[in-house]
Amino acid sequence: MKSVNVLFIQDSTPCIRNIKYAEALQQQGVNVHLLHKNKSPDEAYGRGNSFYASISIFKNRFFFLKRLSKLIEKYQIDLIHYHNQPDILGARIIKARLGIPFVYDCHDFMSFKHRLSGSEKEAERTCNEESSAIVYPAESYLREASKYYNMVSMQLVYGNYYPASLLLDPKKFLPKHSHRDGLTHLVYQRRLAEKKSDHRYIVDGLKAFDPLRFRIHIFPSNRKEFDAYRSIKSVVMYDKVTYAKLISELSAMDYGLVMFQDSIAHKLPAVRFAFGNKTFDYLCAGLPVLTQDSLDEIKAFVKTNQIGWSLVDINSLPHPQSIEYKDMVNRVVTMREEYSMERQISRILKLYEELIDGIHT
């Protein structure tokens, strides 16, 4: 495949998934250009700007298509890779018929999350039915979303894999907190909620862990007071850290925790069938995963690979000093390289090649 120019577009601050793609594609000789709103990758995560051949920012959608056309001409863009949400801008680009393939990367299927307005619904339909190709982060997520629309035939399931550069060498794992105090140390990272109506409000779930047995470390991605969490005896709160530092800090824990407010989460397809970044981050740091039974996609992955435990079986959770736990960690370290962005990126390259060849032949 000749060297290609791909334009990543995100109507928000570029997300971790966007940045992970760019790093792996750059290593394959792909020139990834970025057009986005809000913060740059470096500003938001402390890394990422260097993975893009160019970075352009837009503040609103006025005259957007005119500017986009100029960027396509300037950088000889072969393909647009659009990262949702929202979908409104993606649909506008599709309708403009710019003459190059348009890949719709659905991080979040919005009909799963809230009631959509007429224009939002139409934009979601356009992105799923009129793109050149669609990419979803999990098989069951795509399957459920397909019940809503006549999806385009070119489809790819592509997870939130981690960059190989952040795959922590076991020699660099930090000493386990559990070796010091004998407790089992769990970690939860990424977004938390303070409103009880939000599925990310997990105060009650965390209170169920026995403080005489567990310590729960929380690295939130959003900056709030989180008083309800800080008041839980077993919880230790941290300030936001860079992505690379986070992976290192995770390695001092025993299990990575994937949980939501279960009374809400099991009703939401966006949660049940999603496969977010945090699970892969835990594996990157060499941690087995603890997950809720209602999280279908993650539960199946953990069970199939024997790299974690279900929260419904928490009373029989292997202690960090046990042979069973050490065997589980060894399985994580052995299999995790398979799920790096670099190992998986050939599937994205193949998609690009098929789309670009289809345009030019």
* pLDDT above 70 for 155: yes
196 plus 292 within the same structural domain: yes
112 plus 33 within the same structural domain: yes
pLDDT at 360: 53
98 plus 51 within the same structural domain: yes
220 plus 319 within the same structural domain: yes
The answer to whether 277 touches 160, Cβ cutoff 8 Å, is yes
pLDDT at 62: 83
Beta-carbon count within 10 A of 69 CB: 14
Alpha-carbon gap, residue 122 to 149, rounded angstroms: 11
227 plus 148 within the same structural domain: no
* pLDDT above 50 for 125: yes
Quote the pTM value. Answer: 0.85
* pLDDT above 50 for 226: yes
* pLDDT above 80 for 274: no
For range 68-84, the mean pLDDT:
97
Q: What angle do CA 229, 301, 240 make, to 5 degrees?
A: 30
b/e per residue 241-264 (b: at least 16 CB within 10 A): eebeebbbbbbbbbbbbbbbbbeb
312 plus 200 within the same structural domain: yes
Strands, E assignment, 12-165? 31-36, 54-57, 79-83, 102-105, 133-136, 155-157
DSSP H/E element including 246: helix 243-250
Strands 5-10 and 79-83: parallel
The answer to whether 205 touches 323, Cβ cutoff 8 Å, is no
Using a 10 angstrom Cβ sphere, with 0-12 exposed, 13-18 middle and 19 or more buried, the burial of residue 54 is middle
Range of lowest pLDDT (12-16, 94-98, 195-199, 273-277): 273-277
Q: Which of 193, 223, 222 is nearest to 205 (CA)?
A: 193
For range 66-75, the mean pLDDT:
97
Range of lowest pLDDT (93-107, 180-194, 235-249): 235-249
116 plus 25 within the same structural domain: yes
- Mean pLDDT, the chain, rounded, equals 93
* pLDDT above 60 for 53: yes
pLDDT in tens, 243-257: 889 999 999 999 999
Q: How many domains does the chain have?
A: 2
The answer to whether 130 touches 207, Cβ cutoff 8 Å, is no
pLDDT in tens, 289-338: 999 988 988 999 999 999 999 999 898 999 999 999 999 999 999 999 89
Alpha-carbon gap, residue 128 to 150, rounded angstroms: 8
pLDDT at 361: 42
325 plus 344 within the same structural domain: no
Residue 80 sits in a domain whose CATH number is 3.40.50.2000
Strands, E assignment, 261-358? 289-291, 308-310
For range 9-33, the mean pLDDT:
96
Work out whether the CA dihedral 103, 157, 328, 186 comes out positive or negative. Answer: positive
Local structure of 82: helix, strand or coil = strand
For range 180-195, the mean pLDDT:
94
DSSP state of 353: H
178 plus 138 within the same structural domain: no
pLDDT at 263: 84
Strands 289-291 and 133-136: unpaired
The residues pairing with 184 across neighbouring beta strands, listed in sequence order, are: 214
355 plus 230 within the same structural domain: no
Local structure of 44: helix, strand or coil = helix
Work out whether the CA dihedral 109, 42, 79, 96 comes out positive or negative. Answer: positive
For range 109-121, the mean pLDDT:
90
135 plus 189 within the same structural domain: no
b/e per residue 293-323 (b: at least 16 CB within 10 A): ebbbbbbebbeebebbbbbeebeebbebeee
Alpha-carbon gap, residue 68 to 133, rounded angstroms: 20
Range of the domain at 172: 168-339
pLDDT at 49: 98
pLDDT at 1: 53
311 plus 326 within the same structural domain: yes
What is the token pair recorded at 228? 């309800």
pLDDT at 294: 87
